Amino acid sequence: MHVDFEKINYLKKVISLLLLFFIITPIFAQQKKKNPFEFFLDSEHKRWVKIGMYTQFWGRYIDLNPGSAIDGIEKKDIWDISIRRFRLGAQMQATDKLFFVLNFGTNNINQNLRKGASLNILDLNVTYELNDYFNVGLGKSNWDGLSRYTSSSTSSLIVSDAISVTVPVNGVLDDSDRELNVFFKGKVKKLDYRLALSKGFYTDNEFENEPNPIGNIANFTDTKSRFKLSGYFKYEFLDQESNKTATSPGTYLGSKNIMSLGAGFSHLGDGLWYYNNDRHITYVDMQLFAVDFFLDYVVNKRKNAVFTSYLAFFNYDFGPNYVRSVAVNNPVNSSLGNVTLNGSGNAFPVIGTGNTVFTQFGFLIPNKNYPNQKQQLQPYVNFQFSDFEYLADEMIYFDFGINWLINKHNSKFTLNFQNRPIFVERNNERVEDERKWSVLLQYQFKI
C-alpha cells in the first residue's frame, strides 16, 4: 500500500493553519456578531474576518452510456456515493479599501479517487475598493464575464448542481471555474458591471488539449497562449444585489426581490485550431455571447412563498464543428471503444458551436407557520435546448427535482431526476439514438 506522505503533510499544514486561525481570531476580535464565524477587528465594524465552509454529499443511480466500463469491465448502470464539493475559506476586510478572499476546496471525491483527496487553493485574490463605481482586483478568482451563472454560488442554487453550459471553458482553461486574472467591477446606480482579463491554465486540465489539430473540427490549443477578455453587465430593476464577491446566488429564499436583465461576452484570440480543406492549420477566435433574465420574487411574504426563474440565450462560436461532452462527477474510468459520441459514464454534449436556450423555474412552497417553523419544500425544473453545428439533431436535456430546506441553504436535501440524450454517428450524421436517466440525492451542509 502506497502512502503519499507529501499530500498528508500538506493537509496537516492546511488544517493546522486553519485551527490556528480559529483560535487566534476571537482573541483579537473586539466584538462578535450573531454568526459565530464572523469577527469584527475594530470598534467601528469596518474591518472584519468571516470564515465559511460547505459540503455537498451525493448518492446516485446512473443508467450509464453504452460502452462504459470500470477497470475494463463493462457496466450498464451504477450506484455510487461521492462528495461533490468541499469548500473551506475566509474573507477579510483588511482596511477600508482592501478586501481579501482565500478559499480551499476539492471536487468529485468518488470511487475513481484512489490516492486520497487534497485541498487546492481555489481562490486567492485581493480587491481594491476605490468606490461604488469602480473596484479593481487581481489573483486567482472566478470573476468572469458572459452570464449570471458563469460565476454561480454553488451553495445557494435552486437546482442540484451548477449549469454546465454557463461555464464553457470549465476544465479546459480554468481550474474549477477559476483563472488568474485582473478584474474590474462596480455599480452605477442600477447598472452592475464586471470585466476580466484572464490567463487560462493549459498544462494540467481535465480535458487534454489535442497535440495536433483535427480535420475541420476545432479544438483548444496552447500554441498561442493569449489573455481572455470577458464582461457581464446587468440592470437590476428591484432590490440590489451585492457584488462584494464574484458569485451570484440562485435564490435568496425570500430575503430579497430580484429582477435583472444581463448581457455578456467572452473572447479568446486564436484560442482554437483545426485543419482546413487544404490541410493547412487555421487558428480561430473563441467568441461567446449571452443574454439572460433572472427573477427571484416573494409572492407571499407572510408565508415566505418565492418564485424563481432564469432564462438565457447563448451564442457560442468555438470554430467549426466544436462540441464537448461534460460528465459531472463521472464514476466511470474506462470505456470499451467509441460506441457513442457522448463518451463514457454520464457524459453528454453540453457545449459547442451553435445556439442554446436554457430555462429554469423553481417555487418555494408557502409555509403557514413561517418563521416559527422554517422547513420548506422547493420544486424546480431545468431545460436546455441546443442547436450545435456538429450534431444533426438538437440536443435536449432536462432535469427536475425538489429541495427540502431544513435550515435554508445551511442544511438541505435535494432529490433530482436527470434525462440526457445519447448521440451516435449514423449515415455520416450525428443523431440522437436513445435517452438515459439518472437519479441523485444530495445533502448540503453549510456554515
Q: Which helix (H) or strand (E) holds 13?
A: helix 5-28
State pLDDT tens for residues 316-332. Answer: 999 999 999 999 999 99
Smallest CA-to-CA distance from 366 within 405, 309, 414, 410 is with: 405
Output the pLDDT for position 337.
75
* One pLDDT digit (tens) per residue for the chain, 447 residues: 455 555 556 555 555 555 555 444 554 444 445 677 888 888 888 899 999 999 999 999 999 999 999 988 999 999 999 999 999 999 999 999 999 999 999 999 998 876 667 889 999 999 999 999 999 999 999 999 999 999 999 999 999 999 999 999 998 888 889 999 999 999 999 999 999 999 988 644 444 555 678 788 999 988 877 899 999 999 999 999 999 999 999 999 999 999 999 999 999 999 999 998 878 899 999 999 999 999 999 999 999 999 999 999 999 999 999 999 999 999 998 888 767 899 999 999 999 999 999 999 999 999 999 988 889 999 999 999 999 999 999 999 999 999 999 999 999 999 999 999 999 999 989 999 999 999 999 999 999
Smallest CA-to-CA distance from 399 within 323, 352, 351, 346 is with: 346
The pTM (predicted TM-score) of the whole model is: 0.90
Output the pLDDT for position 206.
44
| Burial of residue 171 (number of CB atoms within 10 Å: 0-12, 13-18, 19+) | middle
| Burial of residue 115 (number of CB atoms within 10 Å: 0-12, 13-18, 19+) | exposed
**For the chain, what is the mean pLDDT?**
90
Q: Is 189 helix (H, G, I), strand (E, B) or coil?
A: coil
Domain around 308: 5-446
Strand-strand pairing, 68-70 and 73-74:
antiparallel
- Fill in the DSSP letter of residue 335: E
Block residue for cell numbers 477587528 = 41
Asked if 318 and 304 touch (Cβ cutoff 8 Å), the reply is: no
Output the pLDDT for position 20.
52
Asked if 40 and 28 touch (Cβ cutoff 8 Å), the reply is: no
The per-residue b/e assignment along 226-243, b for 16 or more CB within 10 angstroms, e otherwise, is ebbbbbbebebeeeebeb
Q: What is d(CA 407, CA 447) in angstroms, rounded to the nearest whole number?
A: 11
| C-alpha of 140 from chain center | 15
| Burial of residue 34 (number of CB atoms within 10 Å: 0-12, 13-18, 19+) | exposed
Output the pLDDT for position 6.
57
Output the pLDDT for position 33.
56
Strand-strand pairing, 258-275 and 281-300:
antiparallel
Q: What is d(CA 193, CA 187) in angstroms, rounded to the nearest whole number?
A: 6
Number of domains present in the structure of the chain? 1
Sign, CA torsion 22/27/29/35: positive
The per-residue b/e assignment along 48-82, b for 16 or more CB within 10 angstroms, e otherwise, is bbebbbbbbbbebebbbbbbbbbeeeebeebeeeb
Q: What is d(CA 405, CA 407) in angstroms, rounded to the nearest whole number?
A: 6
Cell numbers that stand for 445 in this block: 451542509
Output the pLDDT for position 204.
44
State pLDDT tens for residues 28-86. Answer: 444 445 677 888 888 888 899 999 999 999 999 999 999 999 988 999 999 999 999 99
The per-residue b/e assignment along 2-24, b for 16 or more CB within 10 angstroms, e otherwise, is eeeeeeeeeeeeeeeebeeeeee
Q: Give me the CATH number covering residue 292.
A: 2.40.160.10
- Fill in the DSSP letter of residue 76: S
Residue type, 193: Y
**Degrees to nearest 5, angle at CA 107 with 375 and 163:** 65
